[in-house]
Amino acid sequence: MNLHADQTTLALLELGGVFFVLGVLGRVAGRIGMSPIPLYLIGGLAFGRGGVIPLGQATEFSHVASEIGVVLLLLMLGLEYTAPELVTGLRRSWLAGLLDLLLNATPGAVVALALGWGPTGALVLAGVTYISSSGIAAKVLSDLGRLGNRETPVVLSVLVFEDLAMAVYLPILTAVLAGVGLWGGLQALIVALVVISVVLLVALRWGHMVSAVIYSDDREVFLLKLLGSALLVAGVASSLQVSAAVGAFMLGIAISGSTAHTASRLLEPLRDLFAAMFFVVFGLNTDPRAIPPVLGWAIVLAAATTVTKVATGWWAASRAGVRRMGRARAGAALVARGEFSIVIAGLAVAAGAVDGRVAALATTYVLIMAVVGPIAARVVEPAVRLVQGLGWPARA
């Protein structure tokens, strides 16, 4: 009994220390105007193996909390979209989305193959370098007052395409990591496409009914039903090899109207708490000593995919008739990588199906890109004006 009490005491002390440090890191990030994701990852590195203060008793809770964090991240992402917005965004941006996929997944796949990580490693790293951070992009656009700019719908359309692409990619990745082979991957793809189609149909025609089942005027009851539904759907999706994250995302899409708005406000603090634990746990699983050997490759990938994201946004905005300044802003808004890249790498690490250096490279890459992205968005206008001052025409 005393041993159990001592373990509980130690776990409480460890969790209290972790949460307090995360709060301090979040405050620091807010003060300097950057995403807290890089600092949370650094916090995980400090508390993990090879770090300054390795965790002991709090590890089990941390891992469960991190899984809930992934579910809440994707649920909240789904709540931001309605089915009509997704369909419209897909129609508007499919060509730019395909270019985005080609330009930004290729560098990751090429580097993984060059490092000898095989097709599975290439699939993982392609996803890590492909997907922009919707959360960071939305915050940057809001902070810089660009939500009403002409290029912003283009940026949002590309992000919508990426999120839908993830709904197809994650089930395939889950199946491949589970070692089910080509046929298993094809089955996962078919199931994912069927699930997406059914959910979009339900959301378009009967979204109000789904919302009515989950909604309650009592905040406590609403939260319990919402969180319970998300975890149940995520569990069912995981059992079907569709990915728990995709299940949560689809549930978010099916919830519409004022219910979705209320759910977002209610879940936001929980999402922030558990998502922070998710990033910490990913850092816990990464040995800081593994970072220096992959630092050069992370810098190469960061440089290459910054250029390819800017090119994607530039081309997509040009098709919409946006001028050069707006094209540059659109490209810069897409540069940041964050939560999705870590979700992908986290799935690979948890499955143990890839080289251990994947976690170190993904961590280093996201650390760089989560910092570079907001900076690029802030400096792009002065940079374009400087170039224009050297003789580049302002219109095109």
CA 101 to chain centre: 15
Who wins on pLDDT, 10 or 265?
Answer: 265
Question: Residue 1: is its pLDDT beyond 70?
Answer: no
Looking at residue 8, its amino acid is T
Structure tokens at 330: 């659109």
Determine whether 189 is exposed, middle or buried from the number of CB atoms within 10 Å of its CB (0-12, 13-18, 19+).
middle
Distance spanning both ends of the chain, measured CA to CA: 75
Structure tokens at 158: 């590309």
What length is written for the chain? Answer: 396
Question: Is domain 59-389 classified as CATH 1.20.1530.20?
Answer: yes
Who wins on pLDDT, 206 or 38?
Answer: 38
Q: Which residues contact 54 (CB under 8 A, 6 or more apart)?
A: 47, 48
Least trusted range by pLDDT, from 11-15, 111-115, 229-233, 271-275: 11-15
pLDDT for res 103:
96
Question: Residue 57: is its pLDDT beyond 60?
Answer: no
Average pLDDT over residues 315-335: 92
Who wins on pLDDT, 87 or 366?
Answer: 366
pLDDT for res 263:
92
pLDDT for res 58:
60
Residue 375 sits at φ, ψ, to 5 deg, of -65, -45
Structure tokens at 298: 């992370």
pLDDT for res 382:
87
pLDDT for res 40:
85
Question: Residue 182: is its pLDDT beyond 70?
Answer: no
pLDDT > 70 in the chain, percent: 90
Domains of the chain by residue range: 59-389
Q: Which of 154, 138, 128 is nearest to 337 (CA)?
A: 128
pLDDT for res 316:
93
